[in-house]
Amino acid sequence: MKILYGVQGTGNGHISRSRELVRKLKTDGHDVEVIISGRKEDELKEIEIFAPFRVLKGLTLITHKGKLDYLNTMVHLDLVSLMADIVLLDTTGTDLIITDFEPITSMTAKLKNIPSMGFGHQYAFQYDIPVAEGTVFEKYALMNFAPARYNAGLHWNHFNQPIFPPVIPESLYTRKALTVITGKVLVYLPFEELEDIALFLSPFTGYEFFIYGKVQECCDEGHLHYRSYSREGFLADLMESAGVVCNAGFELPGEALHLGKKLLLRPLDGQIEQQSNALGMVELGYGMAMDSLDGAVLADWLQKTGREPLRYSRSVDYIAEWIGCGHWEELPKYSAAAWAEQS
């Protein structure tokens, strides 16, 4: 099957999970061409598996100090370029378009009447799962930013809906387990400013914080350890950490739950998906959440014990099988099988 695959480049989570599915689809013999949008090519890391790929401008969400900046997002919106990319995109011979919350491929599928699948956490919101109040605009944007005809939604729990478990990187199943270091905490708050993170963490000198995000060069300042992005280094620090403090995205909390790490989430202000994730995390009893970089909440969380690993199944195997079978209305059969394998 010839597949055109769109990846939203603004978040590492989209790239991480799409990396796993694209690899599996290629292994299964599909011809996969990838479009990445929302970030400049020189800012993209470890995307070799996507080759052949193209990088287009798309839509970029702009944030400032932990809050979604709607005004600047609209100012930088280039509708002319977006529509040109959609109209001119070559889809000759394409059997299926898969979009990981990527708008160019989503709109191309609709315009050219090509079957489409939405893959990712955002597509779980098509079903009855915890959703924060938000505004009418936020809810509309979540449901209509990159819609698809069929939806392979992901979540940390099935909520009795036809959605799949999180996509866990292959290396977390196969690499040798590392000893957990008591007092080591992984911190990933890419929407916060580094100086604010430092002020937040500095008082807790009895812990070692490994900080990823807006870090250009690795350095150590006492108990604060700044690390520039490296997927292998990040996963190693994740496996050794007793807990994770992060924004309320989806992929990293899923990996942490898979490994049995305690979690403290700080959702991005004005982003209904992250607000909903924080709500779901607390409702499930899987972790804690805070509305700001709150030292009192952190102090309480640091005293909490860890949790048992959830050990999610290799959901991309079931999703790829569902894609390849051609009977896309049978989604519930494949999602149920993925949860049944969870150990």
Q: What is the pLDDT of residue 27?
A: 96
Q: Is pLDDT of 70 > 60?
A: no
Give the tens place of pLDDT for each residue, 43-53. Answer: 777 788 998 89
Identify the band that residue 82 occupies on the pLDDT scale cut at 50, 70 and 90: confident
Identify the band that residue 73 occupies on the pLDDT scale cut at 50, 70 and 90: low
Please provide the DSSP assignment of 247-284 as one string. Answer: ES-SHHHHHHHHHT-EEEEEPPBT-HHHHHHHHHHHHH
Query: At a CB cut-off of 8 Å and minimum separation 6, what does 239 contact?
Result: 172, 175, 177, 178, 180, 259
Identify the band that residue 319 occupies on the pLDDT scale cut at 50, 70 and 90: very high
Encoded amino acid at 3, one letter: I
| Residue 23 or residue 61, greater confidence | 23
Burial class from Cβ neighbours inside 10 Å (0-12, 13-18, 19+) for residue 7 reads buried
Query: 195 φ, ψ to 5°?
Result: -65, -35
CATH architecture of 170-302: 3-Layer(aba) Sandwich (3.40)
What is the bridge-based pairing of β-strands 219-221 and 63-64?
Answer: unpaired
Domain ranges of the chain: 2-167+313-340, 170-302
Read off the DSSP letter of residue 186.
E
Q: 258 near 235, Cβ under 8 Å?
A: no
Q: Is pLDDT of 155 > 80?
A: yes
Q: What is the pLDDT of residue 279?
A: 96
Provide the percentage of residues in the chain whose pLDDT is more than 90.
69
> How high is the mean pLDDT of the chain?
90
Identify the band that residue 78 occupies on the pLDDT scale cut at 50, 70 and 90: low
Query: At a CB cut-off of 8 Å and minimum separation 6, what does 187 contact?
Result: 197, 201, 209, 210, 211, 212, 213, 244, 245, 246
**CB 252: neighbour CB atoms within 10 A?**
24
Across the range 263-270, mean pLDDT stands at: 93
Options 3.40.50.2000, 3.30.9.10, 3.30.70.2740, 3.90.226.10; which CATH number does 2-167+313-340 get?
Answer: 3.40.50.2000
Identify the band that residue 150 occupies on the pLDDT scale cut at 50, 70 and 90: very high
Do domains 2-167+313-340 and 170-302 share one topology? The answer is yes
Residue carrying the six token digits 């957990």:
180
